Structure 1
Amino acid sequence: MVRIDALPAFQDNYIWLLQDPTTRRIAVVDPGDATPVLAWLEANPGWQLADILITHHHADHIGGAEILKRTTGARVLGPDDERIPARDLTLHDGESVEVLGYAFRILEVPGHTRSHIAYFHAAAQPWLFCGDTLFAAGCGRLFEGTPGQMRRSLERLAGLPEATLVYCSHEYTLSNLRFAQAVEPDNPAIARRLAEVTAWRNAGSGSLPSELALERETNPFLRTGETSVKERVARRCGQPMLDPDQVFTELRAWKDNF
C-alpha cells in the first residue's frame, strides 16, 4: 500500500511524496525544491526516487526536477510544454501512465496555466494530484488561461468520485475558507470547516489532503451554480443576471482582491 506524505517547501508549498514499501521506490509531485526530497532520501537509505510528476511549469513546482533527475536518475513526467525541464515523458489528456505500479489518468485542466495537467488514480479511495488548479476551498489564479477554461477545468475535477482525496500543492485552506465564508455566510459546512482548519493550523498541523465531497460543500469555485453564490456575486457586481462564466470571473476577481 502506497503511503503519501507532504514535504513542506518554501513558505506554503507541499511536495507530495508517494512511497511503496514493497519495492522501496518513491515518486514526488511538483518538487519546486530538491532539498526536502534529497534530505528524505538521505534519512531513508535504500530507497530510490523513481518518478517526478510535474503538473505545470511554474518555478515553485519544477525548480528541483533537474537536480533530482541528475542525482537519482528518476524519470520526469509532465505536460506538453517546452518550459518543463528534463522531461522524459510528455503526457496528454486521457492517457494513462504507471507510477509505482499504479495507473494514473491524465486530465488536462488549463486555466492557471495553458498546459496544466492533473494526475488521477481511480480506486476505492481515489487520489487526485491537481497542482494549482483546485485548492482546498479555492482555486488557482489565472495566469495564462481564461475564466471559462478554469471553470470548465474545475467542473471536470468536481465530476470525479466524491471520495477522491485532493492533493493540491499549497497550504492556502484557511485564507480560502475565510473568503468562502464571505461568499456564503450562511453555509454551515463552511463554518464547521473553518473552525476545524483554524484549530489544525493553530496546532501546527496541515489541512491536506482534502476530499472532493467536502470541496463540493464548501468551495465557492465549485459552487458557482448554487443560487446563494450567484445571488451574492450578482449583488456585489450590480448585475441581476450572470451566466456561469461571468459568475466565475467576478468570483475570481473578488478573491484576487480579498
Structure 2
Amino acid sequence: MEAFKNRRRTTVVICLLLAIIIPLVVLFSRRGNTHGYKSNFILPLYIYPSERAWDPLYDAIITHPRTKFTVIINPYNGPGKTPQPEEEYAAAIQRLDKFPNVKRLGYVRTTYGTRNISNIISDISTYAGWTTTGLGMHGIFFDEAPANFEDGLDDYVKRINQAVKTAPGLLPERITVHNAGRVPDRRLADPNTDVSVVFEGPYSSYQSRSAILASLPLDRTRYSYIIHGVPTSKKSGELRKFVNGLSTHAQYLFVTDLKDKYYEAFGPRLSDYVGAIPT
C-alpha cells in the first residue's frame, strides 16, 4: 500500500511539473524561435510549360520533399478560353499532381475590383471544370485584388470568395488567396479570404515596411509575403535567418534574388530559396 502511495505522489509531482514546464517551453519558443515556423513556398508560375521548362521546379520539389508548395497556375492571365487546358499544360499539371507536398491554385485577375464579376466567376468555373484526373485546382489566387475601400467592394470580395467556396469541381480546401500587394483596407476583410498577400515588392521596400507588417492582427497563417531582389550576397546562413524571420509573421513566402521577370523565370538559386523555407 505504501509503495502505491509513493507512486501516486510521484505521478502527481510529474504532472504538476509538466503543467508548469510545457507552457513555458511554448512561450519561450514563440518569443525566440531561431528555426522559424513551418511555412509554404508560394510560387506564381507564369512560365509556359514547353519541354523541360518546369524541370527546375520539379527538381526543387524532389530535393525538398518536406517543403510545402503552393503553385499558382496561370495559362493566359487566367484559365484561357477553352474548357480544358491545352495538352502542354495538362501534362505539366498532371506531373505536379504526383507530388503530395504540392497544391495548385488557379490564377484569376480582378483588376483591383473593377473587372466584371461575371467574368471572374466564369474563370473560377473553368478551373473547377478541370476535373480530369490530376488537373484539379485546390483554390483560386485572385491577383490585383482590391486594397482601397469603395462602396460595393466589400460585397464584391464576398461574392468572388463565395464562388470559390461553393465551386463543386475545386479540390479541398478551396483556398482563396487575395494579392493586393499591400495591406488592404480592413473594411474589405472577409472570413472566406484565407490568405492575403500583404507585401509584394523588392527587398529594399520590405525593409522599410517590416515593422508595420509585423504588427498586423491576424494569425500568420492568413498572410503571405512576396519578396524579390533579395541581395545575392546573402549566404545560406543569412538567407535562412532572413526567411525564418519572415515566417514568424507570414506562412506563405516567396523570395528570390531576381529583380525582374521573377514570375517568368526560376533563377539559378531556386533550390536555395526553397531550402530556406522552414519545414
User: Same fold, TM exceeding 0.5?
Assistant: no
Which structure shows the higher helix fraction? 2
Q: TM-score, normalization: structure 2?
A: 0.29
Q: TM-score, length-normalised on structure 1?
A: 0.31
Structure (1 or 2) with the greater strand fraction? 1
